[in-house]
Homo-oligomer: A and B are copies of this chain.
């Protein structure tokens, strides 16, 4: 597949082979962009700025709905390609396509609803007979960097808002999963968007770093690991930076919880796409009275997970993105066991496949607790009272989302006030996300929010017109 530079599909001198993590087979060959291709993309984006800004609302809406409709028509094709490049079970791959369709739908609608304010200014005599209009203008060129784990939808969470906001975007997909985004480029190329509005460029690290440093880029929107993200912020010069990083999301299961609900939700939260999810359910804190029941039933459920080829409709669980990551997870689990943790189930690796793993008796300093495990590992620990559960949840440098299973109003209120995260999910896992909700972390989990409208806000800057009345 060719890469997409400013409206054209081209080859470069550097081939990039994309393989299926499950079986190592070649999925497709594409290309890495170097400085020349990036330069073409940036130059074209500069030219496209004005025409994108001048698109009336109905044109932005039409373009985004056209993409949405084409994507819906080709759902199966996109799902299959995404499954192949990522090793994500087909059921989840199709779910991701559905979410991308929704992300474009919301962006289409929000493109007509850019924020606008109309203010009285006569609060003091200095403002008498004056009033203000605030309109939001596109910031300029956006650079988006997307991760491998939701190769399409996390790219779409940058592309769709950029089109809606009127900003040209240069999107770097992950080098291991660039294909579904490049397939999307085909659809985008047929919409009549000004050339230069969107470029999709897999890149090597050096070229990618130019996205951080080039002063012509106004906003860097990065989704990926905390370490890389915070370094980018430091090197970004005058540009704005949005960081959607990861964490070690936790869940509280209170005594008043619906245990059956908690079990089934936690199972998915912990193991969908092998835990390679920013809001993967990594830590579960269970009230001591229900801990034995919960942990036993959970272990049983984990053992029943259907593992296998991601291409199969039955498969619930498959391999990790590559062996390096599987090895890292293996090491962290072994470290935890050496440190006194107890293995409830799992803990086995075969190539890129790491089995669904449940640990208990862990402590907060172990990597499986304190770092972003980004693999199929979850810890179960008990607590005595709700307040101590809150403390354990907060005892980390991350703060993305948290889940709380409870039927108690006081506990719900307390969780909202006290959990140091971007989102508190009642009676669901932290892994819960719908695409129009504000989503993002605090503490080391990031800065800024995505969720179409919220992502658009960072791509816009206000300008006030002060006028007479």
State the A residues within 8 Å of B (CB): 56-58, 61, 98-99, 102, 106, 109, 112-114, 116-135, 230, 233-234, 237-238, 240, 406-410, 412-413, 415-417, 421-428, 432, 434-439, 442, 444, 447, 449, 461-469
Are the C-beta atoms of B464 and A423 separated by less than 8 Å? yes
Complex contacts, A240 vs chain B, CB 8 Å: 447
Are the C-beta atoms of A424 and B466 separated by less than 8 Å? yes
Complex contacts, A58 vs chain B, CB 8 Å: 122-125, 128
Are the C-beta atoms of A432 and B112 separated by less than 8 Å? no
CB of A24, distance to nearest CB on chain B (Å): 33
Q: How far is the CA of A422 from the CA of B135 in the complex (A)?
A: 10
Q: Which of B113, B409, B463 contacts A412 (CB 8 A)?
A: B409
CB of A225, distance to nearest CB on chain B (Å): 15
Q: Given A422-B464, A423-B463, do A112 and B120 touch, yes or no (CB 8 Å)?
A: yes
**A422's closest neighbor in chain B, by CB?**
B463
Q: Which of B102, B237, B413 contacts A124 (CB 8 A)?
A: B102
Q: Which of B406, B409, B432, B437 contacts A426 (CB 8 A)?
A: B409
Can you name 6 extra interface pairs (CB under 8 A) apart from A132-B438, A424-B463, A426-B466? A56-B125, A422-B461, A422-B464, A423-B466, A424-B466, A432-B466
Are the C-beta atoms of A434 and B135 separated by less than 8 Å? no
Are the C-beta atoms of B117 and A118 separated by less than 8 Å? yes
Q: How far is the CA of A218 from the CA of B393 in the complex (A)?
A: 21
Are the C-beta atoms of B56 and A416 separated by less than 8 Å? no
Are the C-beta atoms of B123 and A106 separated by less than 8 Å? yes
CB of A213, distance to nearest CB on chain B (Å): 12
Complex contacts, A57 vs chain B, CB 8 Å: 120, 122-123
Q: Which of B410, B421, B422, B469 contacts A417 (CB 8 A)?
A: B469
Offer 9 A-B interface pairs, CB within 8 angstroms, sorted by A: A58-B125, A99-B124, A117-B118, A121-B436, A415-B465, A422-B464, A423-B466, A426-B465, A437-B466
Q: Which of B117, B123, B134, B468 contacts A434 (CB 8 A)?
A: B123
CB of A97, distance to nearest CB on chain B (Å): 13
Are the C-beta atoms of A463 and B416 separated by less than 8 Å? yes
Q: Which of B98, B131, B410, B421 contacts A463 (CB 8 A)?
A: B421
Complex contacts, A461 vs chain B, CB 8 Å: 422, 442
CB of A187, distance to nearest CB on chain B (Å): 19
Q: How far is the CA of A124 from the CA of B434 in the complex (A)?
A: 8
Are the C-beta atoms of B118 and A133 separated by less than 8 Å? yes
Q: How far is the CA of A409 from the CA of B415 in the complex (A)?
A: 13
CB of A102, distance to nearest CB on chain B (Å): 5
CB of A151, distance to nearest CB on chain B (Å): 19
Q: Which of B106, B122, B233, B406 contacts A409 (CB 8 A)?
A: B406
Q: How far is the CA of A131 from the CA of B427 in the complex (A)?
A: 12
